Structure 1
Amino acid sequence: MNRREVKKHEIRQAAIIKNSIRRRRKRRRLKIQFYLALLFIFLSIIGVLAYTVLFPAKKITVMGECKYNAVEIIEVSEIKIGKSIFQIDTNAVKSRIETRLTYIETAKVSRKLPFEVLIEVSAAVPRYACKFEGSYLLASETGKILEIVADKPEGVTIISGLKLNNPKSGHYIEFLDMDQKYVFDQLKQGISSRLLDINFIDLSDIVDIQLIYENRILINLGSSIDLDYKLAHVAAVLKELDQSEEGTLNLKYWAENNQQSFFKKEKIDISY
């Protein structure tokens, strides 16, 4: 065999080896694809079974303190014993509980394998009563409307002058005037952070905001400009006043470069 024939033989052998390697790789890829397909089918079957047959709800556990008992909460949840826990729409259950049971602020619904559904609730606490069309909207700190009542509630801050869009129990306060909403949010934050005992807020005119403190001090804030600074000033002045003193604290002309307020001792009208 001459050199040329040897060279041809080597080329043929190399081609045979290369083709053999290519065939082995192809068989390996096909085998991997086959097993992946089997795994996908297996997982799909398990998924379908889990969603329809496996993991039936056998227990519903309610956690948290509120004015409703576990039976009432489970009834409103509409969760059926025996239904697969993976068929339960947890977001829909959450929405039903929070909307229909108005004194629940938040509801968290989760699955606990293999057979349990957990419902965690937190109570909504009345914080404000918003005057609206001859009634009062009793609302929590977050603005959730707990109920609509005819008589003025006790122990909450009364708010007058809010422009609201079709308020309903179980839903959140929706403002028609976004400037008013901004001022209200600022007031809430400022009052809460300074622990001011405010009984009444009048937002009928956001350039003439009025508050009543401890049913004995009328606070004229004027406009919402520099509102947080004004509230800080109010808190400082109130600390200096005698705890039995009554009157009007006027900040209508207060400004950052003219930080003056005027207090006038007088009997104030608290018939809000």
Structure 2
Amino acid sequence: MNRKENSRRDPTPRVYDKKSGEYRPVAGRQEQNAPGRKKYATPQRRSEIRRRRRRRFLLVFYILLFLAVTVGAVVVSLTVLFKIDTIEVAGTSRYPADVIIKTGGISKGENLFLADTGKASAAIQQKLPYIGTAKVSRGLPAKIKIEVAEVPVSGAVEDKGKYIVIGTNGKVLELAGELPKNCPVIKGLSLAKAEVGKTMVYKDTSQKETFESLTAAINTNKLGKITEIDLRNPSKIQILYDSRILMNLGLPSDFDYKIRFAKTILDEGGIKENEQGVLNLSVAAEDNKTFFDPSHTVSSAPSSQSSSK
């Protein structure tokens, strides 16, 4: 009876010992259940542990395999595939296509995705000043496209027997020995520094603002045939149109309105193609009127021309 009661109270597994004729605890069981020691692992638990280890191993293996395949694909694409076989130049420029391509620094045989398109674009715009914009883009499977656009010419400043050709982007386009064809002469513009391919440095900030505002108005309104821009008198800005009509713009303000007014008169035949004279636009913005003097003298009796705003 005592043996049965003890077995009920003590759940520790026991085994019968033939020599002593008694039941004794399984060897090592008490030590395993002692405080601070690991519990006894059942066969089911050991099986679960093995499955978990196998899953972790497979997960790590598949991750490493994926990385190896990815790296291999990248290496192959950068060394074997996507080699540039075509470089195309589009747009209008005075520079030959082969010069533009060579300046960009991208050549056939390079990898399409390793080609530095930003650096190529900057090099073309800096080393070929007459190119205002150069967009370099990739095209699959192995093509580079260079789209260029020339910067319009604002005019040229004579300096020590040479002409500093200026673009509408404010950069020096060229130092020419003679005045380029169809290029306006700029008088009264003082420059502190002028290097080809770089932005001009002006001596006078206010003169810089006047010049840039005036050339912007001329280009926006597409007034061509400008042969001279005179900035010598800051209160009497003048431009010479087609070597025959001197336009007096007065103070350096409202250039856009004044130029648009003058172009409307020319387009509508207000001044004939064979006429010469002075077109006074100095008060056009205030009075919506301008005066044309065919005798080249403001004191003579003017003939009035007006146009709606």
Query: What TM-score, normalized by structure 2, do the two folds share?
Result: 0.62
The Cα of 1:215 is off from its aligned counterpart by 1.1
- Partner residue, 1:209: 237
| Matched-pair contact (CA < 8 Å) for 1:105–1:144 | no
Query: Given residue 83 of structure 1, which amino acid in structure 2 is its aligned partner?
Result: E
Contact in 2 for aligned 1:126/1:138 (Cα 8 Å):
no
Cα distance in 1 between the residues matched to 2:80 and 2:292: 73
| Greater percentage in strand | 2
Measure the CA separation in 1 of the matches of 2:55 and 2:262. Answer: 79
- Residue 207 of structure 1 aligns to a residue whose secondary structure is coil
Aligned residue in 2 for 1:136: 163
1:151 aligns with 2:178: yes
Asked whether the 8 Å contact 2:265–2:271 carries over to 1, the reply is yes
| Structure 2 counterpart of 1:223, one-letter code | L
1:265 maps onto 2:294 in alignment:
yes
Describe how 1:156-235 pairs up with structure 2 within 5 A: 156-164=183-191, 166-173=193-200, 175=202, 177-196=204-223, 197-235=225-263
Looking at structure 1, the residues matched to 203 and 58 of structure 2 have their Cα atoms a distance apart, in angstroms, of 65
C-alpha distance in 2 between matches for 1:214 and 1:115:
49
Match of 1:83 among 97, 102, 110: 110
Q: Whose Rg is larger?
A: 2
For the 8 Å contact 1:50–1:86, the answer to whether it is kept is: no
Size of the aligned set, in residue pairs, is 242
Cα shift at 1:48: 5.1
Looking at structure 2, the residues matched to 189 and 171 of structure 1 have their Cα atoms a distance apart, in angstroms, of 19
Residue 133 of structure 1, CA deviation: 2.2
Q: Distance in 2 between matches of 1:56 and 1:250?
A: 62
Match of 2:271 in 1: 241
Q: Name stretches of at least 5 consecutive residues in structure 1 with no aligned partner.
A: 1-26
Equivalent residue in structure 2 for 1:74, among 89, 98, 101: 101
Deviation at 1:154, TM superposition (A): 2.5
Q: Which has the higher helix share?
A: 1
Q: Compared with structure 1, are the counterparts of its residues 204 and 57 closer, same or farther at alpha carbon in structure 2 (3 Å cutoff)?
A: same
TM-score (norm 1): 0.68
Secondary structure in structure 2 of the residue aligned to 1:86: coil
**In angstroms, what is the RMSD of aligned CA positions?**
3.7
Measure the CA separation in 2 of the matches of 1:164 and 1:70: 33
CA contact (8 A) 2:168 2:216 kept: no
Question: Equivalents in 2 of 1:70, 1:190: separation in Å?
Answer: 32
Sequence identity percentage:
35
> Hey, what's the Cα distance between the residues in 2 that align with 1:164 and 1:34?
69
Q: Which has the higher contact order (CA 8 A, sep 6+)?
A: 1
